[in-house]
Amino acid sequence: MQAKPHIKLLNTVLLPDYPSGSAISYYEGKFYLVGDDARNIAVLDRDYREAGTIPLFEHPEKRIPKAQKTDFETAVIVEAQQQAHLLAIGSASRKEREQVMLVPLEQSGGHPAKFNTGVFTERLRSAGIKEVNIEGGTLAGEQLILANRGNNTYPENHLIITGKDYWLCQEDVPISVLPLTLPSYIDGFLGISELCYDPLSDTLLFTLSSEATANAYDDGAIGDSYIAWVDHISQQIKQSSIALDALINLPEADAAFKGEKIEGICIEAAHPNEWLLHLVADNDKGQSRLFRVQLLRGA
């Protein structure tokens, strides 16, 4: 009998002073935490202890107001100028959110560089995305995979396959838009909240959540969050649509996830049929919560 996927919660930590965690990345023993209305990136060690900050914006308040925030919803480790950078990507759900920021992670790397992505956003609309709301991203080889989250008015998620430096060549970078099919047994709509790629198994990991909102701007009541994945993603993205191979309800796996809106996921370690993952949740109250989990995907 084939073993079912299983999640084990290893530990969880509340960060009361870091707002609106929306993305978490792991690089060389450190976690880089991005908040969609935060003024800086929080740098944490492997035990979730503060190891520094990287300033992004000057603002008198801890949380940048909704009408002003760049709304960084995902972040990806990329190489630029022959060194590692964190690419923070705005949701593009409003004009002021059509931005990415390239943040050097090496000590001699200099200052963050900001790029407007309005041309790319307009191409996404022309490609059939009715309401742009980029919530996830990950690098898979030479391609960048972005996730556009739907809502109750436009209940469809899309994967966007593009170049790994798309912000530099927005007018002619290749773009492929693929709808994501949710399992038929799901009651209601689940929106993608983040992506993460495992090159060892060629698997694309997803986080998804339900939220009572009719558009890409307003927040709504938080429902359940999920982890899902698609195997052989390098071949799957050549198809006309994508279907999930597995979907796990997190509150059903552990009550600690009840009421938590999982916004980010990253891999610390990958083994055949097993991942050590880190998740970040935004509770819409100016705090963030981290989860360390072991995911056994089954034989």
- Angle (CA) 15-20-23 rounded to 5° is 90
Question: Would you say residue 224 has pLDDT above 80?
Answer: yes
Neighbours of 47 (CB within 10 A): 10
pLDDT digits (tens, 9 = 90+) for 199-216: 999 999 999 998 766 565
Site of tokens 């709808």: 179
Which CA distances in Å does 34 have to 9, 148, 168, 240? 22, 18, 22, 32
Architecture of the 6-64+117-296 domain: 4 Propeller (2.110)
DSSP letter at 173? S
Write down the pLDDT at residue 110.
75
Per-domain residue ranges for the chain? 6-64+117-296
Q: Secondary structure of 217-276 in the HEC alphabet?
A: CCCCCEEEEEEEEECCHHHHCCCCCEECCEEEEHHHHCHHHCCCEEEEEEEEEEECCEEE
Alpha carbons 184 and 120: distance in angstroms, whole number:
32
Query: Which residue in this structure is represented by tokens 């198994």?
Result: 201
pLDDT value at position 213?
A: 64
Per-residue confidence at 223, pLDDT binned at 50, 70, 90? Answer: confident
Above 90 in pLDDT, residue 284?
Answer: no
What tokens were used for 38?
């935060």
Condensed to tens digits (0 to 9), the pLDDT of residues 112-135 reads 999 999 999 999 999 999 999 999
**Nearest Cα residue to 264 out of 286, 281, 242, 276:** 281
